[in-house]
Amino acid sequence: MKIWAAMLECNVMAPDFPTSPVYRGRFAPSPTGPLHLGSLVAALGSWLHARARGGEWRVRIEDVDRTREVPGAADAQLEALRRFGLHWDGEVVRQSDRDGLYQAALEELLGRGLAFECHCSRSDLEPAGGIHRACVASAPRDIPAIRLRVPDDTVVTFDDAVHGHLMQRLDAEVGDVVLRRADGCWAYQLAVVVDDAAQGITDIVRGADLLDSTARQIFLQRALGVPTPRHTHLPLILDDEGRKLSKSLAALPLDAADPLPALSVAWAALGQETGLVGGCGNVDGWLARATTAFDESRLPRGAQPSPHRTT
């Protein structure tokens, strides 16, 4: 397939599929600001999930949306991870360097009739609640969006280690999925699926705010013929008004000069027993103890997921 040929041209290693004994997880922050408590919970949770299994932990900067990037934020996030002792394996991958991979995937889907050009604006789709099931564009666009075709009655089911067996009626709840936006930027859904395949990610451990994206990513993985990783969605950290911390004024940067207090708060937010990591005076010792004590079965569900539970 074109996508695998593009990986070879870009010197991307052949992926290790989930059937491989090698565990490979990842943390993929967007460079829109400094690391905050919510992102530390996601980073620590995914790091512990990987290290407790003797696996690899990769870091990917998801800067595919250039319009939201804050200059210097990516480097600041990486430095914060170092100070919190969350060291990664291999080189840091940046989505801004991977246009060739995304283009190859898009051309493959277009060539197979699985994707199509769309000139619809948000206002065009407002009467349908923003869900695209047919093109109703009021005027052509200079650069059309590209969408993944979702057939009628498409139901995707999957298992999440925290939230159980889930399903989503993709055509009715999501509609045809945007792969490239009308402003020319790659859509998150395409970029993350291509990157996870290219990096051989076997386990996705991330915040529960992305649980709603999982079904459309699985559908796209099937369309591209790439493996589906295992999923674990971690609890979100909400402010006093119930908003996700990264969208709140309370999402202040962490004190990376004094990492142990924030690590302890993140550990508790992951539902772990606080007494098991007490008494450590340095980050490396704390993380070593946390890796041994980490209990996945204690991860809380947190906010209710958007997809419907079936069990």
User: Which strands sit side by side in the sheet containing 93-94, from one edge to the other?
Assistant: 24-27, 56-61, 93-94
Amino acid at 167: M
Entry pTM = 0.88
Phi, psi of 118 (to 5 degrees): -140, 125
Range of the domain at 252: 2-309
**Overall domain count for the chain:** 1
Query: Which residues belong to the active site?
Result: 247
Report how far apart, in Å, the C-alpha atoms of 75 and of each of 32, 33, 56, 110, 195 are.
11, 10, 21, 36, 20
Is residue 160 within 8 Å of 233, Cβ to Cβ?
yes
pLDDT tens series, the chain, 311 aa? 555 455 444 444 444 444 455 899 999 999 998 888 889 999 999 999 999 999 999 999 999 988 889 999 999 999 999 999 999 999 999 999 999 999 999 999 999 999 999 999 999 999 999 999 999 999 999 999 999 999 999 999 999 999 999 999 999 999 999 999 999 999 999 999 999 999 999 999 999 999 999 999 999 999 999 999 999 999 888 765 556 655 444 455 677 778 998 999 899 999 999 888 877 789 999 999 999 999 999 999 864 222 343 43
CATH number at residue 6: 3.40.50.620
pLDDT at 247: 45
Task: Tell the residue number behind the tokens 């969408």, with chain if given.
Answer: 147
Q: What does the chain come to in residues? A: 311
At 116, which helix (H) or strand (E)? strand 115-118
Read off the tokens for 301.
Answer: 């569900």
